[in-house]
Amino acid sequence: MSSSRSRRVEYDRFIPFRSAMDMDYARFALTGPSRPQRDGSRESPSSVAYQKLLDDCILKNRSRILAFKTAPEAPASKLPQFDEPIRPQKKQQRRIPKEPERVLVIHGLLDDNVLNLLDWGSNNVLAIGLEDAVYLWHAANESTKLLQPVEDRGPITCIRWSPDCAVLAVAFGNSDLDLIDPATGHVVDGMEDENQAPVLSLAWRSNSILTVGRFDGTVVDYDFRKDDMFICFYNGHRRGLCSLKWSVLSGRYLASGGQDKLVHIWDACMPVSCHHPRQRQWLHRISSHTSIVKAVDWCPTQSYLLASGGGCNDHCIKFWNTVNGACLNSIDAGSEVCALLWDKNKSELLTSHGSPNNQLTLWNYPSMTRVAEVSGHSSRVLSLAGSPLGGVVASAAADEIVRYVVGNIAMGSFVVSKRQYIFIQAHGFEIFKYERNRLR
């Protein structure tokens, strides 16, 4: 009885199946230019992933020209789908706090809207001018330091960090001006002139040239590298200078706002008269505000755009084209505009206000729609200072309170009493006391 058994047929040659071959790809592989061998170690991960996706979808990972058996059909789930709609990613919801994250209570912060007592330097240190001392808060390590200059020179009227934060300019009520090294607390340079009016505003044009605005409307440039520090003065204001700002992008234009309800725009490259070589004339004079103008700031992305805000009888935020002096837009904010600050990362504007709400308002530019409002101060918000990288703002008010408005970051807080300084850390709530000999 013969038994049937399966036998494997052996052939002496391979015969390709034309029905299993892709003749177009075969022609391309035979006639097309050869691809150089890729070195995967030198390619970026994104390039390697793109090549793999290309091979999967277009070439289907084929490396042979001839086919000797019919390839199984690929599952439908693994076939490339080119007609699938792109699903939009879920937009991350933005968190804007309604209340301040941290609060600093200060005794000795003067209630005067023409003074400039708050500044945040590029070294991430916040400087706060008290009546006769400067308080420094390091945002990186949440440490504090007190700079107490020579006494009996009147209250501090203005403070301003230099661009490189090597010195802190501090102005006093008796017209003195000190440049203080924040590391040692020593005065490295300065001016003393009792015949001059007190300084109300400061603006650094460079690390050595400082623009000074005084109570009598005088604006002067000083170069502290020279024996004769006086460079030039700007003739235009008739009363005290509340605000001075050099343009961020060009460094060529200077904006000034004063108690005379005027805003001046100065061009540092404008030719001067041969009869008065050290006197500069204004480029544009803006007289549309009806109250004191302290809120002035340059747009960080458009060099020609300037924003200004009016005081208690004005309530307006105005935008100016500094090329031709034209007013681009004007809105009624509803209350006194005490300070104004452009956002460094978005097309937004932050303003601080007086009564009735004493709030901070975030505006979208150019639509000028209200994005958010932050409240908490019990009196008008005198000053604003933004962190070097943006996203964090400190506000100081006449209620002797400095508040930190941030996103999801806990910044820390500290309290100042009349006899001691108490710093409270954000994590652990450890208390450090700094005794003070005298506080007027």
Angle value at C-alpha 96, between 247 and 313, nearest 5 degrees: 55
CA dist 209 → 135, 163, 166, 204, 222 (Å): 24, 10, 13, 6, 6
Per-residue tokens: 332: 């009624």
Which residues face 415 on adjacent strands?
A: 422
Residue 417: which H helix or E strand, with range?
Answer: none
CA dist 304 → 219, 281, 288, 370 (Å): 22, 19, 19, 24
Kindly provide the residue ranges of all beta strands, DSSP E only, lying in 30-150, ordered along the sequence.
102-105, 118-120, 125-129, 134-138, 143-147
Do residues 215 and 198 touch, judged by C-beta distance below 8 A? yes
pTM over 0.85: no
Residue-wise burial string across 229-240, b where 16 or more C-beta atoms lie within 10 A, e elsewhere? bebbebebbeeb
**Cα–Cα distance between 59 and 64 in angstroms, integer?**
11
DSSP state of 68: S
Q: Which residue has the tokens 């400067």?
A: 134
Do residues 235 and 279 touch, judged by C-beta distance below 8 A? yes
Give 369-384 as a DSSP string. Answer: EEEEEE---SS-EEEE
Q: Spell out the per-residue pLDDT of the chain, length 440, in tens.
A: 555 555 555 555 666 666 666 677 677 667 766 655 555 556 677 777 777 776 666 666 566 666 666 656 655 555 455 455 556 666 666 777 777 777 877 777 888 889 999 999 999 999 999 888 999 999 888 888 989 877 778 899 999 999 999 999 999 999 999 999 999 999 999 998 888 999 999 999 999 999 999 999 999 999 999 988 999 999 899 999 999 999 988 889 999 999 999 999 999 988 887 777 888 999 999 999 999 999 999 999 999 999 999 999 899 999 999 999 999 999 999 999 999 999 988 899 999 999 898 999 999 999 999 999 988 788 899 999 999 988 889 999 877 777 776 543 223 333 332 222 222 222 222 222 233 333 23
Per-residue tokens: 353: 């206000």
**Cα–Cα distance between 124 and 391 in angstroms, integer?**
13
Question: Which positions ≥6 away from 176 have C-beta within 8 Å?
Answer: 153, 190, 191, 192, 193
φ and ψ of 56, to 5 deg: -70, -45
